[in-house]
Amino acid sequence: MPITYVIDRYQQRMITHATGLVTFHDVNHHLDREQRDRGLDLAELVDARGATTDLMSDQVRRLVQRLAQLIRATPLGPTAIVADEDTLFGMARMFSIFAEHDGISVEVFRDIDSARRWLESHV
């Protein structure tokens, strides 16, 4: 499984790691698990350093549409994504831009410290 996470209920945070090739199916499965584990409302730090993706722009749009439907029932916590691979960084930025239009707070970073600082300022 290229996406794993730990929920820290004490700090009200989800720490997610993505490794290897992250596909559309992987991200959808991650959202299914987050929803099942009632973690969608938590702040999430996604460490995707070293990961790659084959996501296409239409798939990014579909993921944002799914989140837009989810926020009708559950508030979503802010998400900070750390990516050092160019394609993954670009797809995550596209996701961030599309998500912003639906009131979903997602930001993308190249380093973990900047992501943590941003996340702290949004919780």
Give the range of the structural domain holding residue 97, as residue numbers without chain letter: 3-121
What is the dihedral sign for C-alpha 105, 108, 112, 115?
negative
44 phi/psi in degrees, rounded to 5: -130, 130
| Token code pair at residue 20 | 């290897």
Tally of domains within the chain: 1
Give the model confidence (pLDDT) of 84-111 as tens digits: 999 999 999 999 999 999 999 999 999 9
- Distant-in-sequence, close-in-space partners of 36: CB < 8 Å, separation ≥ 6: none
Half-sphere exposure of 72 (CA within 13 A, CB side): 4
Q: Does pLDDT of 9 surpass 90?
A: no
Residues 88 and 21: their CA atoms lie apart, in Å, by 10
**Do residues 21 and 37 make contact, with C-beta atoms less than 8 angstroms apart?**
no
67-85 per-position pLDDT tens digit? 999 888 888 999 999 999 9
Q: What is the CATH number of the domain that holds 66?
A: 3.30.750
